[in-house]
């Protein structure tokens, strides 16, 4: 077999990566990042609040990353599982995962599960974003976007009142399978617009969508001071009092660059240019 030499600049990169790996200093994951959970991904996990022994993240069957939360007493619990991604583009990003709904959800009035992104820490809500869906007994299928500042204080879009939040997702089923999709885009001033959509994977008509452009019925525009952390992954929580349990599985996690408007226009133009040729063949 003939060996084709690498260009010098690529050889240097390979050499640097090899040294980093040998030294135990391998760089963070890079975008595009895709995780199918065929094995333990080695993500960083964290827990806060009324922690009980039953709180775990672990690989489940069929390429799923399983989250289990259990509480015997009172007080809220938050669970995180995240990976550091070093090169999120300033143009925008898209985070997706499949939520395989819980086999167990007991006495959970405000149980929520979803995606976290741009987080400064793998084990804290400070300076991060969360986009989740309520799967508890109270207002199931309601969706929201939560922006946490550097002190951990939360701004909830479109409203902190559950009945005024997005959704509910039509025909929401707590044993269903749903695609969670977050798109983040930046304007020329660096302000961030977040769009969050939840779609039933068996019936795409059952979908609901919210953005961070409206707060309590008022148009507020994009986030002019968004977090810029590298941690992306999952967040789950139990917010009700009394004994509660929650079990959810995630699969097919990805972080990719969001197509720029110009790129989308070129794709559309290319499709139009192909139309006459396709018609001519019929």
- 137 band by pLDDT with thresholds 50, 70 and 90: confident
What pLDDT was estimated at residue 7?
A: 44
Region 127-134: what's the mean pLDDT? Answer: 96
User: Which phi and psi angles does 248 have, rounded to 5°?
Assistant: -135, 150
Q: DSSP assignment, residue 28?
A: P
Query: Sign of torsion, CA 186 187 192 198?
Result: negative
pLDDT tens digits, one per residue of 228-272: 999 999 998 887 666 777 788 999 999 999 876 544 444 444 454
CA distances from 45 to 3, 58, 202, 218 (A): 43, 10, 30, 36
CA distances from 93 to 75, 186, 195, 212 (A): 34, 9, 11, 15
What pLDDT was estimated at residue 89?
A: 81
What integer best gives the mean pLDDT of the chain?
82
Top-confidence range, 54-63, 168-177, 179-188: 179-188
Q: Which of 221, 214, 191 is nearest to 92 (CA)?
A: 191
Predicted structure pTM score: 0.82
* % of the chain with per-residue pLDDT over 90: 55
Indicate if the pLDDT at residue 71 is higher than 90. no
What pLDDT was estimated at residue 184?
A: 98
The more confident residue out of 131 and 14 is: 131
Region 119-140: what's the mean pLDDT? Answer: 93
- 26 band by pLDDT with thresholds 50, 70 and 90: very low
Q: How far apart are CA 232 and CA 250, in angstroms?
A: 14
What pLDDT was estimated at residue 51?
A: 64
What pLDDT was estimated at residue 138?
A: 81
Q: Which of 83, 87, 55, 47 is nearest to 71 (CA)?
A: 55
Domains by residue range for the chain, with CATH: 29-261 (2.60.120.200)
């Amino acid at each position: 077999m003939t060996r084709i030499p690498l260009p010098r600049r690529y050889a240097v990169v390979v050499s640097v990566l090899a040294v980093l790996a040998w030294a135990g200093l391998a760089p963070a994951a890079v975008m595009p990042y895709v995780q199918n959970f065929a094995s333990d991904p080695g993500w960083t996990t964290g827990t806060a609040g009324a922690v009980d022994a039953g709180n775990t993240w672990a690989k489940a069957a069929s390429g799923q990353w399983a989250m289990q939360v259990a509480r015997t007493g009172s007080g809220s619990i938050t669970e995180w599982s995240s990976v550091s991604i070093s090169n999120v583009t300033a143009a925008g990003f898209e985070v997706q995962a499949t939520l395989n709904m819980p086999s167990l959800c007991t006495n959970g009035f405000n149980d929520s599960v979803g995606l976290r992104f741009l987080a400064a820490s793998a084990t804290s809500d400070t300076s991060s974003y969360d986009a989740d869906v309520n799967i508890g007994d109270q207002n199931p299928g309601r969706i929201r976007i939560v922006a946490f500042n550097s002190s951990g204080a939360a701004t909830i879009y479109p409203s902190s009142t559950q009945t005024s939040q997005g959704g509910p997702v039509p025909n929401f089923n707590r044993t269903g399978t749903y695609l969670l999709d977050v798109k983040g885009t930046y304007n020329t001033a660096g302000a961030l617009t977040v769009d969050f959509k939840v779609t039933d994977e068996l019936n795409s008509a059952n979908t609901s969508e919210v953005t961070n452009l409206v707060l309590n019925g008022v148009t507020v525009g994009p986030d002019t001071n968004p977090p810029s952390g590298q941690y992306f992954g999952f967040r789950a929580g139990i917010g009700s009092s009394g004994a509660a349990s929650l079990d959810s599985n995630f699969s097919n996690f990805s972080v990719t660059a969001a197509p720029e408007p110009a790129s989308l226009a070129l794709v559309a133009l290319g499709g139009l240019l192909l139309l006459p040729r396709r018609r001519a063949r019929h």
